[in-house]
Amino acid sequence: MAMTFDNRSAAYDLNLFKDNTAKKLPKKKTEEKTAQVRKNKVVSIPQDELVKIRRRKHNPFKLFIGAVASAAVTAIVAMIIIGQVTLTELNQQIIQKQAQLSNAQSTYTQNQMAIQSKHSTTDIENYAKDKLGMSKAENVQKEFVSLSRGDKAEISKDANRNFFQKIINAFTGLWS
């Protein structure tokens, strides 16, 4: 496959792509103005155009969207601040209640110790003797029980068993 020089350079021949049928566009007035400005090097703008340039145009829709967005951001920041303040107040209340609880627990422990010290066994015995007229049990009043025969277990027989239960009990009785 031999390629000739003409075939290899055909892709780079830009003259093939030129289209001489395109219409030329007329020159615009701006090009004429720039040509005049280049000559004078002084730009003169009519007063009406100066006012339009200086006056800033505000789009009411964009202003409304900006106001709504800023109000939403302000509301969100306010809610976060209020939430943090509420959280701080609740934490302070929890700390106060925990302190009250620990004080109440220590008071309870002190009261329990005082009650135990007031009601010793000798005080209770004296109260029972003096106020209630009670006395200690003597050996004559005590009844002793002896279990010298050993422990026994009895199984009560249920008379209301059905036929299947009797069969099951018979098989379990063989292996026990």
Query: Mind listing the pLDDT tens digit for each residue in 18-60?
Result: 665 656 665 555 665 565 555 656 667 788 887 777 777 778 8
pTM attached to this predicted model: 0.36
| pLDDT at residue 3 in the model | 47
Residues of the chain with pLDDT under 50: 1-3
Residue 91, in any domain of the structure:
yes
- Measure the CA–CA gap between 113 and 101, rounded to whole angstroms: 18
Secondary structure (3-state) at 55 = coil
Number of domains in the chain: 1
Residue 138, in any domain of the structure:
no
Residue 72, in any domain of the structure:
yes
| pLDDT at residue 20 in the model | 59
Residue 131, in any domain of the structure:
no
Residue 99, in any domain of the structure:
yes
Residue 55, in any domain of the structure:
yes
Decide: residue 122, CB within 10 A, 0-12 exposed, 13-18 middle, 19+ buried: exposed
Residue 62, in any domain of the structure:
yes
> Who contacts 37 (Cβ-Cβ below 8 Å, separation ≥6)?
43
| pLDDT at residue 1 in the model | 45
Domain of residue 98: give its range.
36-122
Residue 2, in any domain of the structure:
no
